Amino acid sequence: MHAELFEPCQVIYGDTRARGYAIKCGKCSAIGRIPMNTFKGSPDEYDKVNRMVAGKFGKQGWLVATRPGAHRCPSCVRLTKPLAAKLAHLKETTSIPGIEMMNGTKLEAKMPAAEPVKLAPVRVIDVVTPASRVMSREDGRKVYDKLNEVYRDEAYGYLREWNDARVAMNLDVPLDWVVKVREQWFGPERGTSVTGDIEELRKALQAVDALREELAALNKRVDKLNLDAKPIVTIAEKARATLATLDKGA
């Protein structure tokens, strides 16, 4: 199978997002997704992964082809099965051999023209991906209520470790919904006061680092001065001892 037979994607798996693969129907553009680890490797490893993914989609009713544009979703498979059965039946009933007469001539059996096969109407599946979903009034209310819990105010922004992406994942909604509601009713993702505090803290840390470097340099200078002063200290101690001896003799 081709190395790009399926597309890597993000899949909602429980309360989190997981890596997985997506398959697209070549007839109606329906999309199916399954959670599964993705990786890069050799062609043999790609083929192994493709076979595993094909097996999982096959259990869901997909008709997996050897090229991406030929996949068929379960609905399209169900619609084409009756047609395939009718065509197979017509092939069997119209294949009648000619009858050979005594004089060697052949009498060919003439079959009436087959009636046109009436195809079942194709039902187009409207596949809605998270990125193209339209936010309803109820969706907007749900996002607003969540932001009301985790967003402090315009000056501060989100509480603790919350942000737009975490809210979207928590509610399983597109990120642009959260951004739209927040910008319209609350404020910036990170408050102006918090941004200012962060900048001040960053400057303070830079000043502390500079002082630490200066202190390390001073310590090196002190160590060098102590080393240089050792001979002088030795001479001074000897002079002090000699002076004490002279004082006693006097």
pLDDT tops 60 at residue 127: no
List pLDDT tens digits, range 10-55: 888 777 788 888 898 988 888 888 888 765 555 667 678 888 888 8
The stretch 117-132 carries a mean pLDDT of 49
pTM: 0.33
pLDDT tops 50 at residue 131: no
Nearest to 73 by CA among 86, 64, 81, 82: 64
| Cβ-contact 221, 186 below 8 angstroms | no
Q: Where are the domains of the chain?
A: 1-94, 135-190
| Cβ-contact 12, 131 below 8 angstroms | no
Separation between Cα atoms, residue 131 and residue 143, nearest integer Å:
16
Q: What is the bridge-based pairing of β-strands 7-13 and 31-35?
A: unpaired
CB-count exposure of residue 30 (10 Å: 0-12, 13-18, 19+) = buried
pLDDT higher at 70 or 109: 70
pLDDT in the model for residue 107:
43
Confidence band of 198 (pLDDT split at 50, 70, 90)? low
The pLDDT > 90 percentage for the chain reads 22
